[in-house]
């Protein structure tokens, strides 16, 4: 899989994409992630990528030309399944979206900055808009890193235990059950006996029960969403 991330602040993406699971996936050649500085196509001697907005609103807006040239340069080399813009207006990122995108071959992720991007980019170049939540951050770089991480970890071979991603929270519409490790008793804080029983059926039943209970208590909206989808 190949992910191309377009940004005006590439430095913000260096560390999140170079270490841990994503970094190892890149070293293994399981995922290609390329970060491109939109200023490569900036205008004039200062490689300008932003300008004042029409209408007099406060804040600078990313210009259409540098972004369009960057995207067209990449498209000339390969076909892309999606051109994604990280935006608070977009559909809220969830596990289903990450699962879907992990099956794609090539995607572009565009990071907005300043006040946003010229709307013509969204109208003519972007195929999908994704948000990481109902709040605003300084730019799309951190959301892009979150999206890339959520996708890459699902690629076969990335995780040491291939089944690990399948037991993550939200994969089945529920939160994950509690997890424990050694020692079994720490200062009187004990691991539930069922997990020490060695009985797979009892353990699975306990985990299912705990997942449902935690979801009902902590994120009841997930159950409502699952039930509404099941009724369609």
Token reading at 16: 């999140």
Same domain, 110 and 213: no
pLDDT digits (tens, 9 = 90+) for 80-102: 999 999 999 999 999 999 999 99
Number of domains comprising the chain? 2
State the average pLDDT over residues 21-33.
97
The answer on 114 and 72 residing in a single domain is yes
Dump pLDDT digits (tens) for 160-177.
765 455 555 556 789 989
What is the value of pTM for the model shown? 0.88
- In this structure, the answer to whether residues 139 and 184 fall within a common structural domain is no
Q: With cut-offs at 50, 70 and 90, classify the pLDDT of residue 58.
A: confident
Mean pLDDT (the chain, rounded): 93
Instruction: Examine residue 145 and state whether it is found in any structural domain, yes or no.
Output: yes
Domain boundary among 152, 177, 208: 152
What's the CATH number where 216 sits? Answer: 1.10.1270.20
68 pLDDT more than 60: yes
The answer to whether position 64 is within a domain reads: yes
Asked if 145 and 193 sit in the same domain, the reply is: no
Residue 142 resides in a domain:
yes
Q: In terms of residue numbers, what domain contains 191?
A: 169-230
Same domain? 147 vs 173? no
The pLDDT value recorded for residue 168 is 57
pLDDT in tens, 116-137: 999 999 999 999 999 999 999 9
Per-residue confidence at 231, pLDDT binned at 50, 70, 90?
A: low
Assigned domain for 105 exists:
yes
Question: Same structural domain for residues 144 and 173?
Answer: no
164 domain residue, yes or no: no
CA angle, 108 then 110 then 115, to 5°: 170
């Amino acid at each position: 899989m190949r992910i191309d991330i377009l940004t005006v602040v590439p430095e913000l993406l260096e560390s999140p994409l170079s270490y841990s699971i994503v970094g190892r996936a890149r070293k293994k050649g399981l995922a290609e992630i390329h970060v491109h500085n939109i200023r490569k196509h900036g205008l004039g001697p200062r490689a300008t990528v932003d300008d004042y907005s029409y209408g007099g609103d406060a804040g600078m807006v990313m210009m259409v030309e540098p972004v369009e040239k960057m995207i067209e340069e990449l498209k000339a080399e390969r076909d892309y399944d999606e051109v994604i813009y990280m935006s608070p207006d977009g559909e809220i990122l969830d596990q289903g979206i990450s699962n879907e995108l992990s099956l794609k071959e090539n995607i572009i992720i565009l990071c907005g900055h300043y006040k946003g991007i010229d709307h013509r980019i969204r109208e003519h170049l972007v195929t999908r808009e994704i948000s990481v939540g109902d709040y605003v951050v300084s730019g799309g770089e951190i959301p892009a890193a979150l999206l890339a991480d959520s996708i890459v970890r699902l690629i076969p071979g990335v995780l040491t235990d291939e089944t690990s991603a399948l037991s993550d929270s939200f994969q089945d519409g529920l939160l994950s059950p509690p997890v424990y490790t050694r020692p079994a008793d720490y200062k009187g804080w004990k691991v539930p006996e069922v997990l020490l029983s060695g009985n797979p059926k009892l353990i699975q039943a306990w985990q299912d029960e705990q997942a449902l209970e935690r979801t009902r208590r902590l994120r009841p909206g997930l159950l409502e969403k699952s039930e509404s989808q099941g009724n369609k």
